[in-house]
Structure 1
Amino acid sequence: MGNRSKDGEQADGEALEGSTQALLALIPAATVVVDGDGEVVRSSPDAYRLGIVSNDEISNPKIIEAIVQVRRSGGRRSFNLITRTPTEFALDVTAESTESDNWDIDEAEDPGDETHVQAQAVSRRNWLKVTLGRIDQSLVVVLIDDVSDSVRFVRTRDAFMTNVSEQMLKPVQALEELAAQLKTTSHLEGDDPELLRSHLRSVSKDASSVQRYSAYLGHVLKDLLLLIRAQERIKPSRENVLDVAEQIRAVVQDEQNGADQAHVTLRWRCDQPLTIHGDGQQIRVALAKLVENAISYSPSGSTVSLAAQASKDGHYAKIRVVDHGRGISKADQGRIFERFYRADNQNEETAVGIGLGLAIVKHVALTHHGSVTVWSAPGEGSTFTLMLPLAQDPVAGQDGDNPSD
């Protein structure tokens, strides 16, 4: 329900019969009831989050028009609608995007820092199926079915098929070239030995290309499958409560060998017990992607740090991955979360990447009702911050952890 006064609540009871209220409470879709004066007398909390109701009034012009038509002519109206989650329901650290599922740069000052943060954040669109009908001569009910998750899944699935098809072109071409070279080999037996050796070198080169593209394609498929799995929103339950420190510890252990090979020191700490609801595999993959990027872009002898703490309002776990590498240009920051986007700051270590890591991180954050932000400056390094809602009822008996120094 919205924040209505006691007089408003009493009016609700007078406007709606008890049986009608009980029936509306059983409907799984978000519901809004509007009286003859156009005022909301009953509203599900989701109607505010979906951008349908604001200040106890319908805020969407298309629904307002439909209410007038239904009240005038009766019957029922159904249509599809796309809205955006209002700013007040977004995290304080996020910046509203003006494009579908794109991320824009927004400059804001971090109160705990003397630097300016260029934050990358998301405001996702809501895909809704809306149905309106009259309850009586004055009251109109609005039923809102949020099908956003289904729409996003279909879009990602279609993008998956398109991306896989595109990424398979080069491996297939390399296989065709290798097959042609091998076919020619049989005709060179008994010819000039030097010509044969030259031909075999060409065959070896083509075979290397096939091997490289096979590894690349395997990486693409693995990451795209991860992206597909990171589409379904996480529903909090006692079965999916995770200890943040345990997730970070597991990632650090897995990435330690890569850090050692790069001569990069990997440090982490979690200053207090933090629990979240989530899919442990997805959370670890997201953190691993951030850590792997940080290591890859860091110079030998530098340090990559992970730090977890509660947000100032106590509602979120704030996990930061900090490196002191080459940093990201402002132009690239606007696109680094796009699928297959590759920034210009590649080195020998990162040149073989495919550009899906940060897209995976973004989607994991969103499916866990959180966000990811980035601060970066060329030559100064980068800080990626993952914000995830804290579990409201932590499992008893969980301890803090010992930070590694």
Structure 2
Amino acid sequence: MSRFIIPFILVFILELYTFFSLRTITRNKFILIGFWVLFVVVCMVFFYQMSLVQKGSRFSLNTGYAVALFLTFVTPKLVVFAILFLEDIFRVFETLFNYFKQDTTLKEAIPSRRKFISQIALGIAAIPFAGFVYGVIKGKYNFKVIKQQIVFDDLPEAFDGYTITQISDIHSGSFDNKDKIEYAVDLINQQQSNAILFTGDLVNVVAEEMHPWVDSFKKLEAEDGLYSVLGNHDYGYYAYDTNEEIQENHRKLEDIHKQIGFDLLLNESRTIEKNGQKINILGVENWGASRHFPKRGSLKEATKNIDDNAFNILMSHDPSHFDFKAVEVGRNGDKYNLNTVVDEPNIKDFEKKIQLTLSGHTHGMQFGIEIPFLNFKWSPVKYRYPKWAGLYKEAEQYLYINRGFGFLAFPGRVGIWPEITVIELKRA
């Protein structure tokens, strides 16, 4: 638990600032004592649950709600800290001015904290607090259908107007409301797309997490089929100690994809034909820039039976695959050889053109701000993944990143809602 010492000190500083702000507004001892009692209780719950994870227990719903409680309690206080810290900077200058320009002691020169500043700080902090509460109670199942039309010069004419529904990052081990999942599955079917593509992370850790939800997702239907790939969480590296256990989990997960009706593509391709014209659906295993996740994807394998001038739609879970290129042959101490790689190219520079890539993985960090009519979006995840949500275009190639269907770790969504994407292909 030593790694939590510095974060705890930082959180304690936030608590002090918030306490000083509260004390400016009220001197009620019950409120002030209750403030610290609540802080202690929240910290005890959080550290207890995290200690269970460190001892080898899997990340559970209880742990997720402990994380949610901690973030809901602490995050709004960043606002209080920012406002009061700015006030303190001005108070320092005011103190110096009073001390040198007036005949006063240092104690007399220090101005008191302004009540109205504290009221403003606490009032603004109430907004993210309410957002986190809503995100945990309602936001995680606040499914949004996002429609995106993409125009291509080389789209076969027979596929002009072809529609694809993309879902990603189901993370079934986090679900706790069957009615909401049934509603979302119905919402997907209501789109009546030609094909449904799932871009990985069916579970959090192990295949068994999906068992309660198979019957719900078996209801998915599309005339040209359902296609899927694996995400980094689907490999089970977080749960098992031997390769035999990992392979058994992988076999179970493949079987679940079949039960649902997904055609799981493991560095493979499928062809959809209409009126003698074709498009290809490609699917690669997980590939990305992070050394913590398995690298199993191979564009070369997935396209070995594909003509050079074909129209290709690729499913690749991690969007960093679009830009990232690695030439590695393993690492010492690399558990299960996650990064054993031999010269795999990135998507945008691949020898065969990939017109459209569909990814997920980022979840938009499940926290951020989006204002569609201003075309504005922001999330802290952008500093880890520059391409993190929505549509991107480079050199006549498109990347669409789904914000995720489910949720992980933090059992909620604040400003970045669960997404069902409907993409319409148009010919220029």
Length-normalised TM-score, structure 2:
0.26
Structure holding more strand per residue: 1
Structure ranking higher on relative contact order (CA contacts 8 Å, 6+ apart): 2
Length-normalised TM-score, structure 1:
0.27
Q: Which has the larger radius of gyration?
A: 1
